[in-house]
Amino acid sequence: MNELIKKLVEAYGPSGFEDGMRDLIRPEVEAYADEIRVDALGNLIAIKNGDGSGLKVMIAAHMDEIGVMVTHVTKEGFLRFTNIGGVLPHNLMGSRVQFANGTIGLIYSDRIEDRGKIHPLNKFYIDVGASSPDDCPVSVGDAAGFVRPFMAQGSRLTAKTMDDRIGCVVAIEAMKRLKSTPHQVYFAFTVQEEVGVRGAMTAANHLDPDVGIALDVTLTGDVPEARPMAISLGKGAAIKVKDSGMIAHAGLVRLMKQRADAASIPYQLEVLDGGSTDARSMQIANAGTAAGCISIPCRYVHSQSETVDAGDVESCIQLLVEILANPIEL
């Protein structure tokens, strides 16, 4: 599985520019899907037909990543930029980014008078080796994603885009293992989650599922001076109860716990007080959906060193398969 993780987490795909990610994921799922669609916004939807006795279920994992976009090229050839999604200024100094054309840029900041402070985004710039706008290989409106290689240290896996390429891996692996299902299952690899869960919103409004399950990362409370949270690396899948954007359907939470207990899958209960997932969009689509989320515990979210545990990833895959292989009664 690490080979698939490496392929996805190192790839380029800021919000709004997910074409390359879609091209990577499609061949991974084609052999396991009965039908594949790409909608107008760019969501990749792989459909697995059930026997007709179950529900319409949407599984959502977002393909996009946070990044930056060029707003101005100075006369000296440096690039000013804006954020795409939740880019944190304190993670920027010395970072490297890659544009769609392969150009690599180094991020640095204007002079810092007080080194105890952090500049806002508009005080950072990207150096791509240009000396003027004329010889600059990128231009205004070009987007870049961060550059950092995948790293495995035992069971701990680190990369720039575990959020949410690891959710995509969970969906892909579940598709491979799901031999049969009573449900009509739509595996949606969604776009533009980092800028407002937009892909899942359009997909859910179109598909109108009975049940929606997001696959995404969540924070942990197991690092020094972390905000108190009952989630740790290595203790299993996280079943979301609530985040700042939604309260998960109580019946779906109960079902997830029952399936995990019956299959001896380790799990944790997640209450997240900041951030949300594609589940929010699914929950309020059309007349409403019974929505929830299987979360992958992740340290250092929205940095270039997001870290998950391989055992937790496996637990998430197993739990999703158990849910989809059996009747869903809420």
CB-CB contact of 87 with 116 (8 Å): no
Q: How far apart are the first and last CA of the chain?
A: 32
What's CA 28's distance to the chain center, in Å?
Answer: 17
Q: Phi/psi at 255 (nearest 5 deg)?
A: -65, -45
156-159 sheet: strands from edge to edge: 151-153, 156-159, 306-309
Pair of tokens at residue 252: 């779906």
Question: Which residue do the tokens 């459909």 mark?
Answer: 47
CA dist 148 and 105 (Å) reads 13
DSSP state of 30: G
- Rg, C-alpha atoms of the chain: 20
CA distance 320 to 71: 41
For residues 289 and 210, the answer to whether their CB atoms sit within 8 Å is yes
Catalytic (active site) residue 193: yes
Contact residues for 304 (Cβ-Cβ < 8 A; gap 6+): 91, 95, 146, 147, 148, 160
Per annotation, catalytic residue among 193, 306, 314, 322: 193
Residues catalogued as catalytic? 193
